């Protein structure tokens, strides 16, 4: 039985990957202002435990071709250790060809070009990066360590090394009244970064987080459903690079996934229809709105 020390987020696009927990928690000294994903503090999993799990997986009849490494920033653990773990997995489970996992923009910055090249040669691909926004004021409010310029800079390094990536975007994370600006600037930054995929989630704030407390005290006003949908439309319309636009998180206001630019017009028309109707609150934020508005589901 593989060990998972807590309920950890796994991207839906990694549904068929085998998950190995190589660390717990997130190594960022002060968690981001909205984050309540991890209750365990950051630690490295002993290599012997990882090895025992690999031996167990080697006996499975299924031979997964991809592994997703947990936890909060598995690709931010010391590079030598990460490289050794990938080598170990390849040795024990040679059918695993590629590796994904969460990483932060500042984790990428700490890796040398040589280390990135080594990770690429071992099969690191489609890393999940919590970029969240391309607007500095939003990144600051969210407590992110990186800024917009870091996203384009570090993504260019990944591209040069041959490592693809998914950039996460949190709709509704800018202050009320700032979402359209957040969308426009972010679309520019994300387009420059040229991700394989953009994964869009909608902000949900835990009450025990710094941002949750700011929302409760009225210091930070969240956007309404209407403004959040306007933001998603503006962001999608502004993406100029070919990519997969994935709004498939179940907790989102609605779900769709398609390729840009091919599938975009259909989704924009659906969003326009939603904005023209009377289903969206212009004053409040709901967490769930089960409305599939179209889109082709692509891998």
Name the site residues for ligand SF4 (rule: CB under 6 A). 26, 28, 31-32, 35, 37, 72, 104, 130
What one-character DSSP code corresponds to residue 223?
A: P
In the complex, least distance from residue 130 CB atom to ligand SF4, rounded to whole angstroms: 5
In the complex, least distance from residue 197 CB atom to ligand SF4, rounded to whole angstroms: 17
CA distance 98 to 159: 16
In the complex, least distance from residue 148 CB atom to ligand SF4, rounded to whole angstroms: 16
CA distance 70 to 21: 5
In the complex, least distance from residue 134 CB atom to ligand SF4, rounded to whole angstroms: 16
Q: Are 96 and 33 in contact (CB under 8 A)?
A: no
Nearer to ligand SF4, 35 or 77 (CB): 35
Q: Are 9 and 74 in contact (CB under 8 A)?
A: no
In the complex, least distance from residue 38 CB atom to ligand SF4, rounded to whole angstroms: 6
In the complex, least distance from residue 142 CB atom to ligand SF4, rounded to whole angstroms: 8
Nearer to ligand SF4, 4 or 37 (CB): 37
List strand residue ranges (DSSP E) for 191-285, in order.
Answer: 197-202, 243-247, 256-260
Nearer to ligand SF4, 72 or 100 (CB): 72
Backbone torsion region of residue 123, taken as left when φ is above 0, otherwise alpha when ψ lies between -120 and 50, otherwise beta: left
Nearer to ligand SF4, 63 or 109 (CB): 109
CA distance 95 to 116: 22
Nearer to ligand SF4, 100 or 270 (CB): 100
Instruction: Give bridge partners of residue 99 from the DSSP assignment.
Output: 67, 124
Q: Are 255 and 247 in contact (CB under 8 A)?
A: yes
In the complex, least distance from residue 35 CB atom to ligand SF4, rounded to whole angstroms: 3
Q: Are 178 and 138 in contact (CB under 8 A)?
A: yes
Nearer to ligand SF4, 38 or 190 (CB): 38
Nearer to ligand SF4, 14 or 266 (CB): 14
Q: Are 112 and 80 in contact (CB under 8 A)?
A: no
Q: Are 51 and 20 in contact (CB under 8 A)?
A: no
């Amino acid at each position: 039985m593989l060990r998972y020390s807590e309920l950890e987020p796994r991207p839906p696009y990694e549904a068929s990957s085998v998950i190995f927990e190589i660390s717990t928690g997130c190594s960022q000294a002060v968690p981001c202002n909205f984050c309540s994903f991890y209750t365990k503090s950051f630690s490295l999993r002993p290599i012997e435990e990882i090895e025992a799990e690999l031996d167990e997986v080697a006996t499975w009849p299924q031979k997964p071709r991809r592994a997703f490494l947990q936890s909060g920033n598995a690709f931010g653990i010391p590079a030598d250790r990460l490289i050794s773990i990938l080598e170990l997995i390849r040795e024990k489970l040679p059918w695993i060809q590629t590796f994904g996992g969460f990483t932060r923009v500042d984790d990428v910055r700490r890796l040398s070009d040589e280390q990135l090249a080594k990770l690429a040669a071992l099969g690191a691909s489609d890393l999940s990066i919590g970029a969240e926004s391309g607007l500095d004021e939003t990144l600051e409010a969210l407590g992110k360590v990186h800024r917009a310029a870091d996203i384009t800079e570090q993504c260019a390094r990944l591209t040069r090394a041959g490592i693809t990536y998914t950039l996460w975007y949190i709709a509704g994370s800018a202050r009320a009244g700032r979402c359209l600006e957040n969308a426009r600037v972010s679309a520019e930054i994300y387009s420059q970064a040229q991700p394989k995929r953009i994964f869009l989630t909608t902000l949900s704030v835990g009450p025990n987080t710094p941002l949750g407390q700011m929302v409760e005290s009225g210091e930070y006003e969240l956007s309404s459903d209407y403004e959040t949908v306007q933001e998603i439309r503006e962001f999608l319309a502004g993406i100029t690079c070919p990519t997969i636009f994935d709004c498939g998180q179940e907790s989102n206001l609605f779900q769709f996934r398609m390729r840009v630019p091919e599938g975009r017009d259909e989704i924009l028309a659906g969003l326009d229809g939603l904005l023209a109707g009377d289903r969206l609150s212009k004053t409040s934020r709901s967490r769930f709105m089960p409305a599939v508005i179209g889109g082709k589901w692509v891998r």
